[in-house]
Structures are given as structure tokens and as C-alpha cells.
Amino acid sequence: MNNLRVIFGLLIGLAAMMARADLSESVFVPKEEMEFAKGYLSEVRERNYEYVFSHIDPELSSQVSEEKLDEIAAYFPSGQLLSTVLIGSQVHTYNEVWQGNFTFEYQFESGWAVANAALQRKADKMTVIGFNVYRTKASQKELNKFELTGKSALHYLVLLAACIVPVFIIVSVFYCIKTPIHKRKWLWVLFVLGGIGTMSINWSTGALGFKIAEYQLLGAGVVASGEYAPWILSVGFPLGAMVFWFKRKSFIEQDKASKLSQQNASNDDTSA
């Protein structure tokens, strides 16, 4: 288990270099819209319902009442607000309609909460098309950190496969390059180099995901979209590597037969 910790720790360290601690500073996050979402959720928490209703999209307004807003606002913990951090941002434009979803983590004296607001801009008018709040036991950074303790057998099985499969593939690629394959050798190398299909596991929740039509380089991967996001570990089936080892003996025999045939032909020419 210690070896697994070291190997996977290196993978996590590499992935963590790509994550930003302060997502709000990212060039990919629209600042004006992000601040609008943050301010809107603040007005929900303060129960400023006149402001809240004035920015709700007409299609949503009929579904929201003051009683519902009271229920949502009550999910914010009591006491002084200590910090607000942007932990998620998704934006896209479709048919000239811009939409964005911003998620924030709140730390209060009495606990933690996560809230998000979905925005829409149509004809230069910004409206809110959805929002929610829920409490958490701790910071998402703490809840989603990578730990080996307290995990299920399935967690460990996927982790073990994610460590073994890349090693198996790398060794197979080395032997594939060294093996005399006379036709389309580069295609064989590409086939061996990846895994076919993936099984992924959310390391925090244990939720599984499957993709059949997918090619994964080296047959395994680990990714987290940020410090506050869960680690997603994925592993593919090393079909190419397994087929190569099954056929390697025949490749070698074919090469020997080809060389022997060439040698016999050369001897015949010499005799003549």
C-alpha cells in the first residue's frame, strides 16, 4: 500500500499543478458575471427579496415564493461570514444566449455552505434562471482531498488497476517497438499505447462512470478541476497490449520464416 501511495501521490502532484487555488483570478472566469452571481446570493442570504425577485427570469418567477426563499436562505449557517470562495465556473453560449453557472463556498462561524447561481443573458439583459444552497460538514477542499483510509474495496481495486495498467502498457510498448512487425508497426504501437474504454470513480463519493467508445493514453488518468473538486480516477482496458502479447510469438516466427526464405533464395542464387 505504501508503494501505491507514492506512485499515486506523484500522479496527484502532477495534476495539482494544473489546478488553481483562486479560481476567481482565472482568465477564463468572467468577472462581471461572477460578481453579479456572488452579489445575488448575498441578497438571498440577507433576505432582500425585492432585489431577488427583480432579477429572476420570468420563466422562473412563478415557481418562487417568499416562503421558498425563506427555506433556501435558512440553509446559510448563522453567525459571521468569514470567507467566500469561488469553487466552480461554467459558461457557454448557444443560439446567441449566454449562460453561466457559478458556485461559491461560504465559511461562517457556525459552519460551511455551498451555493450556486445560474445566470442567463439574452438581448443584453441578465437574469437568474436558478439558484440553490446546501450546508456541508466541512470545506470542499477537506471533503475532497485524496486519502487512502476509509475507502471501499472498489476504490482500492480501481487504484491498483490505475497503477498497474500504465506500467503494463509501457513495458508492452517497449517490446512492441523491439519486436519485428513487418506491416503497419506504427499502428500496433498506437494500439498498444492506450486503453480501450474507461471506468472512472469519484474518489470522494465512490460514484462510478463508464465509457465504452474511448481511447485513453497509457490506460489510466487522474484529474481534479480544482482544489475544491473531487479527484476522478479512471482506468481503461489494455486491449492493445494484451492482443500484442498474444500475437508476439507469431510475429517473431513470421520474421524468422521471412529471413530463412530470403537466405534460401540467396543460396539458390549463389548455386546457380
pLDDT, position 20: 45
The 10 Å CB-count burial string (b at 16+, else e) for 64-88 is beeeebeebbeebbeeeeeeebbbb
- The domain tally of the chain equals 2
pLDDT score at 25: 66
Domain match, 224 and 177 both = yes
Instruction: Identify whether 14 is part of a domain.
Output: no
- Mean pLDDT for the chain? 84
217 in the same domain as 116? no
On whether residue 271 sits in a domain, the answer given is no
Q: Are residues 51 and 163 in the same domain?
A: no
pLDDT over 70, % of the chain: 86
**Confidence (pLDDT) at 3:** 52
Same domain, 84 and 39: yes
Tell whether 35 and 139 lie within a shared domain.
yes
Q: Are residues 99 and 26 in the same domain?
A: yes
Whether the pLDDT of residue 17 is over 50: the answer is: no
181 and 213 housed in the same domain: yes
Answer with the one of 143, 170, 201 that is the final residue of a domain: 143
Domain extent, residue 139, equals 22-143
Burial class (CB in 10 A: 0-12, 13-18, 19+), 13: exposed
| DSSP-derived secondary structure letter, 225 | S
Q: Is residue 264 part of a domain?
A: no
Whether 258 shows a pLDDT value over 90: the answer reads no
Residue 19 pLDDT level (bands cut at 50, 70, 90)? very low
Give residue-wise pLDDT tens across range 30-68. 899 999 999 999 999 999 999 999 999 888 888 888 889
Cell of 267: 543460396
Do the Cβ atoms of 154 and 201 come closer than 8 Å?
A: yes
For residue 15, being part of any structural domain is answered with no
CATH of the domain at 79: 3.10.450.590
Is 53 part of any domain?
yes
**In the 8-state DSSP scheme, what is residue 56?**
B
Nearest-5° angle of CA 90, CA 95, CA 96?
75
